[in-house]
Structure formats: structure tokens, C-alpha cells
Amino acid sequence: MRWKIVSGLVCAGTLSGAAAAVTPPPVFQPSTTAIDPGFRSALLSDAAMRTGEGAMLEVSSQQMPIDWDAARSDLAEQTGDPMEPVARPVPIRPVNATRDDLDAVSLPILLPDRTAVDFDGATARLFGRQGFYTASIEGDGVVIEVFGTRQRLTEAPDPASERRLAEARDADGFIITPGEGSWDVAFNRYGAAYSVTVECGDPGAARCADPDYARNVARGLLIAGGQPGGN
């Protein structure tokens, strides 16, 4: 099993009691069908970047606050005015998750744009829990995995690690890491940490020859579900 690095999770202050008592309105009401859980994904702290996969920080049950206002704003821009006859980007829908499954995830679920994935018949299989989710898209000799979490680390990265992470981020805010026939793209958004992994069956395939395809998939991620607080 190949481990996936989700880096750059930034600690923040907790919400006040008054703010936590208010239930925000629903963000997204997706319409999907069927069921079939199952995933191959794992959460590593930024310590994995420094000391290898064997030395991981323990992940606590505390969760990072999510900027749902920013998510709503992006969703409004993503969907646009329904009265305007303009083609809009469409996220790949999970074929195995019901609306309740997506509503149970308490962070914005980001899934790739169909155009960015760029192969016919692409479908996603998604597995989610209250504070994280993972989705897998397979086809045309490539596997794309998207992972998101709002879990808080028990300790913040030290200043030297913070500097290294900041220096590693590109203009998009991505930390891109090569693997054997694969590319990982890690970033923060809405207060959560996300990663996109692209793995090719043939390590020499064009989609894995350089990070461009993985970067474009990450740039094309769209909000496809999630609700404040989950269920």
C-alpha cells in the first residue's frame, strides 16, 4: 500500500461556544445513487516529509474550523446564474454515495472537473466520514485519488518545518511531490487539508511524465458535497 502525504495542515483557534451553537444552513444538495464503501488512503502529518513514513505525528479527534462562507462563495461562482446559457464545469459524481453519505462529511468535498480528468466514462467512488473523505477515479491506465481532512494535529509544525513547507509551495499554493509513476499535489483550502494523487499503470505514460496533469486536476477541483457539522 502506498502512503499518501497530506501536508501543510495549519492549526487555528477553536470556535467560540456561541458560534458553535449556531447551525449553518446547508451548502449543497447533491443527487447521487447506490452504495459501496471502500478506499485505499491514509493520513500522514507533515512529519513524514521530514523524517519518513515511519515517524508520524498522532492525529487527534479535534477538527479544524471550516470557512463555509468561502465555500459558499466558490460554489456560487462554480454554478453561476442558471438563467445564463453558459457551459459550467461539472464535477465527477460518485456512483456509490447517496446524498446522506455526502452530507455526513463536515468539510467541502472537492472532486475533479470532468474536463480536467480528460478520459471518457470517468466515475468516482467515494468513502467519507465526519471529518475526512477519499475518492478514487480510475480509467485509461490512470488512478486519481482525492483526499480531504479537517483533523487537527496534536502539535503544530516547528518554525523550521513551516518555512520549508512555505518554500515548497508553488504559485498555486501546491506542494507537488513525485513518486514512482505518480505525482502528489497537497494544499490547504477552507481550513482543511487536501491532496490529489495521480498514479499511472505505466510509469512512462504521458500523464505521469511530469506534474502538469496532476496540477491541472488539482486546479480543476470543484465542490461536490459536504455540510457544516456533518450528520
Instruction: For residue 104, give its domain range.
Output: 34-82+91-225
pLDDT score at 196: 97
Q: Is 16 among the domain residues?
A: no
Query: What does the DSSP 8-state code read for residue 94?
Result: B
- R_g of the chain computed on alpha carbons: 17
Share of the chain above pLDDT 70, in %: 67
Separation between Cα atoms, residue 195 and residue 93, nearest integer Å? 18
Within a domain: 23: no
Give the range with max mean pLDDT: 29-43, 84-98, 129-143. Answer: 129-143
> Could you tell me which residues come within 8 angstroms of residue 181 by beta carbon, excluding any fewer than 6 positions away?
199, 200, 201, 202, 203, 204, 205, 208
> What average pLDDT is seen over the chain?
75
Q: Give a yes or no: residue 29 inside a domain.
A: no
Is the pLDDT score of 144 beyond 90?
A: yes
Q: Quick one: pLDDT at residue 61? A: 54
Does some domain include residue 230?
A: no
CB 113 within 8 A of CB 220: yes
Question: Is the pLDDT score of 54 beyond 60?
Answer: no
Q: Which of 21-25, 76-80, 213-217 is predicted least confidently?
A: 21-25
Greater confidence (33 vs 186) lies with 186
- Examine residue 181 and state whether it is found in any structural domain, yes or no: yes
Of the listed ranges 14-28, 126-140, 171-185, 199-213, the least confidently predicted one is 14-28
CB-based burial, 166-183: b 16+ in 10 Å, e otherwise: eeebeeeebbbbebebbb
Q: Does residue 46 belong to any structural domain of this protein?
A: yes
Q: Residue 42 pLDDT more than 90? A: no
pLDDT for 223? 94
Total structural domains within the chain: 1
Task: Work out the average pLDDT over 116-123.
Answer: 87
Q: Stretch 42-65: mean pLDDT, rounded?
A: 41
Q: Does residue 231 lie in a domain region? A: no
Q: Is residue 5 situated within a structural domain?
A: no
Residue 140: beta bridge partners?
A: none
Nearest to 134 by CA among 117, 116, 110: 110
Global confidence as pTM: 0.72
Q: What is the mean pLDDT of residues 121-138?
A: 91
Confidence of residue 229 (pLDDT cuts 50, 70, 90): confident
